[in-house]
Amino acid sequence: MHALRIFGAGCLGRIAALGLAGFSSFSYAWQSAPVVAGGTVTGHVICGDTQRPARFAKVILFGVPAEITPPPKPGVKGGVVVYYKKAIDALNMIDAQTDLEGGFALHGVAPGDYYAFASVSGYVRPSQMVLAAYEAGSDLHYPISGIPAVHVVSERSAQVDLTVERGAAIAGKVMWDDGSPAARLMVTVIAAKGKKEVPIEFSMLSGADGMEQMSFSDDRGHFRISGLAHGDYFVRGDLTTKSRTDMKGGANGFNGRSDSPLVVFAPAAFHQADAKAITVHRAEERDDVEMTINLKGLYAVSGRVSSSEDHHGINEATVRIEDAQDKEFFRSTNVDANGDFTVTFVPPGSYSLVVQYAGDTEPANEKPSDPTKMNSETVLRSYEDGKQAVVVTDSDVTGRSLELVPTKTVKKNLFSDE
């Protein structure tokens, strides 16, 4: 069985999957952890625009990090895994809901310093508050200006009252170039100014944002994203264009594949540099945003991946088109059983055609003994990566041939460095 691989821009994977999955796993960890005597934090959450209680709002106590984990150096084996593990292992966080009066009481809170956040639909989200402060120069080692903090002492009570401010909203419509609505696009917004990325310690705050940080276009192409802080934003849409999942004999026979999504920026761009920023102010509602997917200027790049030894087609590989100028732009696909590939929806430009994770594989003979694990493949031979230049002008590019050299030792897992 092929491993499940979805080549996405990753908003859903980078933010929602990481944050929401993280919340779920940490909830389990909290329940399993030994009880430690702690303090109590009480307070109320009020909506700033109505002065009414925020009912069933999420309250988050987020431990002030003792240190900020520096990003891993490029090329360090296992660096990303170590980076995430170090940051998450040191995390202290509690989340709970308010009652009908907007009140909350958190007991058994471990002693220490915490940022206090409230997450309410339509109001400025915690992750945006941290990002705005970070962009403004705040040192995240210490209490952040404008974000309430509370010091917790064992067997003592502390109080913190929170006010949430109504956020802005961006709404509009996604269309194909013939004017028909484009449904099922995952629409997100990206800050148009500032280049900082919030340290990994704060990535869990994205889970508090829930699904409000994105929107899916409906059958009429409409979308709406709320809870935005004042600022300039690019509107981005991701559309899955080629995917397939099979299940034969239950989960052990699960097989899933997908090309990278078609990415478009409002009003009608395939590169973020060509997008038009949208400015929103506090509590402003913008409902006039239009995003058009112009298919007329897109082409395909096709070819074959084979072995340099006997020229047979390699049945497992990922093929990527990487833009020479825009490092964030790429399109990707998988080879078929014969080593053939077609990368679709490529705009004119100069690219690198890159082949990775290549190998000759066959289905594993035995099903895994653990019923929670999916069936796997046996790697018969693995190959070094391949790369060549390709230029797309005003037509499809066909007949590209990439012959790969076998690795000195066979990789048991094509997607690891081992």
Give yes or no: residues 232 and 319 share one domain. no
User: What is the reported pLDDT for 252?
Assistant: 53
Domain assignment present for 28: no
Give yes or no: residues 212 and 284 share one domain. yes
Single-letter code of the amino acid located at 135 = E
Average pLDDT value over all residues in the chain: 86
Q: What is the CA radius of gyration of the chain?
A: 24
Q: Grade residue 92 by pLDDT with cuts at 50, 70 and 90.
A: confident
Q: Grade residue 35 by pLDDT with cuts at 50, 70 and 90.
A: low
Q: Grade residue 146 by pLDDT with cuts at 50, 70 and 90.
A: confident
Residues 6+ apart with CB under 8 A from 164: 45, 46, 47, 48, 54, 57, 118, 119, 120, 123, 124
CB–CB of 116/158 below 8 Å? no
Give yes or no: residues 345 and 405 share one domain. yes
**CB burial class (10 A; 0-12, 13-18, 19+) of residue 295?**
exposed
Q: In this model, does residue 175 exceed pLDDT 90?
A: yes
User: What is the reported pLDDT for 250?
Assistant: 58
The angle formed by the CA atoms of residues 401, 404 and 406, to the nearest 5 degrees, is 160
Give yes or no: residues 216 and 314 share one domain. no
Look at the chain and report how many structural domains it folds into: 3
- Residue range 223-241: mean pLDDT, rounded: 95
DSSP annotation of 64: P
Give yes or no: residues 274 and 194 share one domain. yes
Give yes or no: residues 374 and 265 share one domain. no
Domain assignment present for 5: yes
Task: Report the range of poorest mean pLDDT among 97-106, 150-159, 243-252, 383-392.
Answer: 243-252
> What is d(CA 173, CA 182) in angstroms, rounded to the nearest whole number?
8
User: Which stretch, 20-34, 251-265, 398-412, has highest mean pLDDT?
Assistant: 398-412
Residue where a domain terminates, one of 135, 164, 193: 164
CB–CB of 16/206 below 8 Å? yes
12: helix, strand or coil:
helix
Residues 6+ apart with CB under 8 A from 38: 107, 108, 109, 110, 111, 152, 154, 155
User: What is the reported pLDDT for 87?
Assistant: 73
Domain assignment present for 355: yes
Give yes or no: residues 140 and 187 share one domain. no
Task: Report the range of poorest mean pLDDT among 119-123, 332-336, 362-366.
Answer: 362-366
Instruction: Check which CATH number belongs to the domain holding 210 and give it.
Output: 2.60.40.10
Residues 6+ apart with CB under 8 A from 137: none
Task: Report the range of poorest mean pLDDT among 198-202, 349-353, 387-391.
Answer: 198-202
Q: Grade residue 85 by pLDDT with cuts at 50, 70 and 90.
A: confident
CB–CB of 194/135 below 8 Å? yes
Q: Which residue has the higher pLDDT, 39 or 373?
A: 39
Domain assignment present for 27: no
Give yes or no: residues 276 and 323 share one domain. no
User: What is the reported pLDDT for 350?
Assistant: 97
User: What is the reported pLDDT for 417?
Assistant: 60
Give yes or no: residues 232 and 292 share one domain. yes
Q: In this model, does residue 156 exceed pLDDT 80?
A: yes
User: What is the reported pLDDT for 27?
Assistant: 40
Domain assignment present for 341: yes
Instruction: Check which CATH number belongs to the domain holding 139 and give it.
Output: 2.60.40.1120
Residue 390 sits in which domain range?
Answer: 298-418
Give yes or no: residues 336 and 397 share one domain. yes
Write out pLDDT tens, residues 59-84.
999 998 887 777 666 655 556 677 77
Domain assignment present for 317: yes
Domain assignment present for 327: yes
Residue where a domain terminates, one of 149, 164, 179: 164
* Residue of 328, 256, 329, 338 whose CA lies nearest to 298: 329
Give yes or no: residues 287 and 358 share one domain. no
User: What is the reported pLDDT for 26?
Assistant: 39
pTM of the model: 0.82
Residue where a domain terminates, one of 107, 134, 164: 164
Task: Report the range of poorest mean pLDDT among 15-24, 200-209, 251-260.
Answer: 15-24
Write out pLDDT tens, residues 279-325.
999 999 999 999 999 999 999 999 999 999 999 999 999 999 999 99
Give yes or no: residues 199 and 159 share one domain. no
Going by their DSSP bridges, the two strands 316-323 and 349-363 should be labelled as: antiparallel
User: What is the reported pLDDT for 369?
Assistant: 59
Domain assignment present for 332: yes
